[in-house]
Every structure is written in C-alpha cells, then in structure tokens.
Chain A
Amino acid sequence: MITGLLCLLITIALYYVCKRVYKVKSSVYLSPLLVTPVILIIGLLLAHIPYETYNAGGKWLSSLLQPATIAFAIPLYKYYNVLKKHAALILVSVLSGSVVAIVSSLLLAQSMHLDNALVSSLVPRSVTTPIAMSVSQVIGGVPNITAVFVIITGLLGSIIGPMIVKMFRIDNEVARGVLLGTGAHGTGTSKAFELSSLSGTISSISMIVAALFTLGAAPLILSLFSR
C-alpha cells in the first residue's frame, strides 16, 4: 500500500517534470505520455516492483479517466454551432476513417501471420478503451490485450498525427481534429487540444462518432472478411 502510494506520487511528480521539459522543447519524442511511462517501466523493472503493486496507487489516476471523458461534453456544448456547421464533413470523414481502421488492422495483422486472437484484439484498437474492449470481446479477441493495443495506438498516434499534418500540409483545423480523434481516440484528442481548442473539440466528437460506429459496425465488417 505504501509502495503504491509512493508510486502514485512519483507518477504525478514525474509527469509534471516531463510536461515542463515538453513545454521547453516540444519534440514529439518528448511527449509526456511517451516519456513518463517509459521511465516508470524501467524504474519498476530495475526495482523488481510488479505492476500490480504499482497500480495499487496508479489506479487512482486511471479512475479519473472516466470523469475526464465526460468532461468532453463541455467543449462539445460550447462549440455546438461549429460542430453543426461541419456535421456532414465530420461524419463522412470519421466513418470512412473508421472503416479503414477496422479493415487495415485486420488485413495487416493477417498478413503478419499473427494468431487469430491477436488479430481480433487488434481490430478495434483505434477507438477509446471501454468500447474497444467490448468490441474485442464480441469478435473473439482478448479485451485486456486490446486495452494494451489501444494505449500503444494512442502513444504512436500522438506522434504519427502531427507528422501527417506536416507531411500532407493539413492546415485546416477541423481536418486536424478529425484525423487525431479518429486515429488515436483520447490521446489524439489531447494532442488536438494542444493545436487549438477548435481542433480539440472536433477531435472529441470524432472520437465519440468513431467509437459508436465501431461498436455497431466492426462485427458486420468482420463477417464480410471472414473466410
């Protein structure tokens, strides 16, 4: 318990240090979401502390994830008119992006000869954790492993997203929000809020639309591809 509490305090302190560093030098590789866990994992492995002990304290932070997700209702409310204006654009781009996410995860995973449970666990990885886990359950994946893929997607997505923005010169704030929310759920959305509050709001709604669509459509799309 004491170790857990200490882990919690170290996590918070380390996060703020990483955030400070990131403010001074905002390279994507210095993102607090990437650096903080890497340092913590190395520390825990060196100190031979199992994850369960760490998480006795860490779970308090995870439990704030849900109220934080609910808090997305506030930017959605404040920017309602902007959302309404771009509704068709958001819907079309997010739905096509979600289909691409499901199909490309499936085909790439199969082409890598990963076993079936891993393939199914990878399919819903681009949407927010609770939805991804329940989709994984339905299509024969392992929900806990899906949760790991979701977080890996989040980490990589917050690096790949800004690269794509630069590479394809996507200067439209709405489009930036769409790609981050569709591709990398909550972490992408957090990145989008760094770009602008409009991008962040668009990203939150994209994340929600992608999650709901994947929940309904992933099993159907998979049945089209099953051999």
Chain B
Amino acid sequence: MNALKSLFKGVVQVAILIFISMAMNKIVDVLHLPIPGSILGIAVIFTLLKTRVIKLEWIEQGANWLLAELLLFFIPAAVGVMKYIPMLESDGVRILIVVIFSTFIVMASSGLTASRIAKRKENQS
C-alpha cells in the first residue's frame, strides 16, 4: 500500500513539473523573453522554494525521478543523428576532431582552473 502511495505521489509530482514547464514556455512566448522556458523554470522554482511559497516535499520525489532518468530523455535526440549521416559521411571526421579537441581543452582548462582556485583557498584557511 505504501509503495503504491509513493508511486502515486511521484507521478503527480512529475505531472506538476510538466505543467510548470508548459506554463514557463507560455510565459517566455508571450513576453518574448530571450531565455528558454527551462532556464526561467529553474529560476522560478528556486525562488518559490527559497521564499517558502512551495515546499520541497511537494516536488522533490518527482524531480528526483526525472533527474535519475535524465539520459533516457536525450536518447531520441541522439538517435536523430541518423538523419545527418550523409553530412557526417562527408565532414564527419573533421567535425569529430573539432568536437573532441575543443571539448578536451574546455574541460581541462575549466577543471584545472577550478581545482587550482580550490587548492589555493584550502591553503589559505
């Protein structure tokens, strides 16, 4: 019985989050904001939690479900790469070189910057 109740709670909370995300898209659309609905949604939920207008328990379980299966939601987009197989056949190797090297440099530079700053902080305190 408890398991069923918790399942129901999770489903309702996911539905709430879906509803919020649709509402945010509408707001962005009507006000012509330069940011996507998802970023506005993060800001709005965060603010509502911080000002205690909504309680963490109301959405936490649903949010945890969605975050745990995040990769699943990327898969149809990843399958979409198949539409571009002709482009990848002609330019794919060069594109991959750009993506691999650039991602490597970005991650190494931001990661090393962050760990240097963190170390310096540790030494100071």
Contact = CB atoms under 8 A, between A and B. Distances in A.
Nearest to B60: A74
B97 A93 contact: no
Interface string A211-222: 110010000000
A171 B109 CA distance: 15
Interface size range of chain B in the complex = 35 or more
Given A73-B46, A179-B114, A215-B34, A151 B87 contact: no
A94 B111 CA distance: 9
Interface in A170-227: 170-172, 174-176, 178-180, 182-184, 186-187, 189-190, 193, 206, 208, 211-212, 215
A32 B37 CA distance: 27
Interface string A50-77: 0100110011011011111111111111
A154 interface: yes
Chief secondary structure at chain B's binding surface? helix
B2 interface: no
A58 B75 contact: yes
Given A71-B63, A93-B113, A170-B111, A33 B78 contact: yes
A100 B115 CA distance: 17
A120 to B, nearest CB: 12
B35 interface: yes
Nearest to A62: B76
A70 to B, nearest CB: 4
Grouping DSSP codes into helix (H, G, I), strand (E, B) and loop, the A interface class, with mixed when no group exceeds half, is helix
Given A69-B38, A208-B39, A108 B79 contact: no
Closest 5 CB pairs of A and B: A97-B110, A58-B76, A179-B111, A130-B36, A71-B63
15 contacts: A36-B75, A69-B42, A71-B62, A73-B42, A93-B117, A113-B94, A118-B95, A131-B39, A148-B81, A151-B77, A153-B99, A157-B103, A160-B100, A168-B111, A178-B113
Interface of B: 14, 17-18, 20-21, 24-25, 34-39, 41-46, 49-50, 56, 59-60, 62-64, 66-67, 69-84, 87, 91, 94-115, 117-119, 121
Given A51-B83, A108-B102, 14 more contacts: A36-B78, A67-B14, A67-B17, A68-B69, A71-B17, A73-B41, A92-B113, A94-B110, A112-B97, A161-B107, A180-B107, A182-B106, A211-B39, A215-B34
Interface of A: 11-12, 15, 31-33, 36-37, 40-41, 44-45, 51, 54-55, 58-59, 61-62, 64-78, 80, 86, 88-90, 92-94, 96-97, 100-101, 104-105, 108-109, 112-114, 118, 122, 125-126, 128-131, 134, 145, 147-149, 151-157, 160-161, 164-165, 168, 170-172, 174-176, 178-180, 182-184, 186-187, 189-190, 193, 206, 208, 211-212, 215
